[in-house]
Amino acid sequence: MADKMHLKLTINGEHLETLCEPRELLIHVLRERFNITGPHIGCETSHCGACTVDLDGKSVKACTLFAAQAQGATITTVEGLASPEGMHVLQEMFREHHGLQCGYCTPGMITRAWRLLQENPDPTEEEVRFGMAGNLCRCTGYQNIVKAILAAAAIMNGRDATADDAVKTPEEVA
């Protein structure tokens, strides 16, 4: 058996260390060694995106990364998005627009949407759908997830998310 390695990560602003085998997947280390259980294990085959975390500015599927590959990385999980003042606007909008039903995919959805809105702060509906294509939801049909993300973007851009023209339609973009 291979020796354990000394893994050092910054997760949600906190410096964390553990011993783990190189073959352990990042999702297992997060959930079982650090008890960070926001990222979920859905398919465990790189398809569903429930395990999505933010790693050095990239949305990654933590089931398809050995913890060893993340050595020294800065990671944000859904637990790191809210502040003492309250939930992140994306979380608020997922609640407001009913962007979840069973909730299993939600941590991955929100963590991915968080990165998407940093790269593209004011996306069109089509860009949201394309940018969220690595996250599967088996309940909602995506409609309300897309609405929630567009509403969050509207608020983050200083628009009233409840106004009729807050969210750009594909026709307006074209």
Q: What residue spans of 53-164 are helical by DSSP H?
A: 89-96, 106-119, 125-131, 143-156
Give me the amino acid identity at 158: G
Could you say whether residue 49 binds another protein (CB under 8 A)? Answer: yes
Could you say whether residue 26 binds another protein (CB under 8 A)? Answer: no
Locate tokens 């999702």: which residue? Answer: 27
Q: Which of 8, 17, 32, 69 binds another protein (CB under 8 A)?
A: 69
Cβ 13 vs Cβ 80: under 8 Å: yes
Smallest gap from Cβ 153 to another protein, in A, equals: 16
The enclosing H or E element of 142 equals none
- The window from 43-51, 76-84, 140-148, 157-165 that contacts another protein (CB under 8 A) reads 43-51
Could you say whether residue 134 binds another protein (CB under 8 A)? Answer: yes
Sign of the four-CA dihedral 19, 22, 24, 29: positive
What does the binding site for another protein look like in residue numbers (CB under 8 A)?
1-3, 5, 21-25, 28, 44-47, 49, 52, 58-61, 63-66, 68-69, 71, 112, 116, 130-134
